[in-house]
Structure 1
């Protein structure tokens, strides 16, 4: 898998942050190393760290909204009257981003241009 795609997933989905998505942090590099070399990663620690940063720093987005919602449902937390926000078109990964990563559609998935079957 292309390292740029892994980095994109790390900074936007697994451990999102408020600024500077282009530059790799030390944590990004460690996660990328773990993924590429099949090293056990404690995802719960990563999620906890990201959630705590979102609480401490105003520029950090609150991540994992679907996961958080499902946990609240599972634990029976009353969410009636809470604000609800739909997924917007701006929240989706744009096709232009996939093209920059040299990913092309193949059926219902995307593959790297170099990995396309003949």
Structure 2
């Protein structure tokens, strides 16, 4: 498992939508170029907030007060999300340019 950092991390995060597997279903996270973020969980619950890129991952703070710090790892030919504290891992199912799910347009 290789940690993704630097320019490659920037390429995979800034202005991208990530589709993640959560509880066997897709969830989406949009990381806007302006530092805004949007998330829709597998059950339809939606969040907005802020995010920032770090050298070895990124951090989020959502409108409900949740905070997260994530790292991306290359694993088995794909990408895995791992919380910095190691408590959670999620498989990335897809990576899309822009806000492919229209998350920022939702109320």
| Superposed pair shares fold, TM > 0.5 | no
Structure (1 or 2) with the larger CA radius of gyration: 1
* Bigger proportion of residues as helix: 1
TM-score (structure 2 length as normaliser): 0.22
TM-score (structure 1 length as normaliser): 0.21
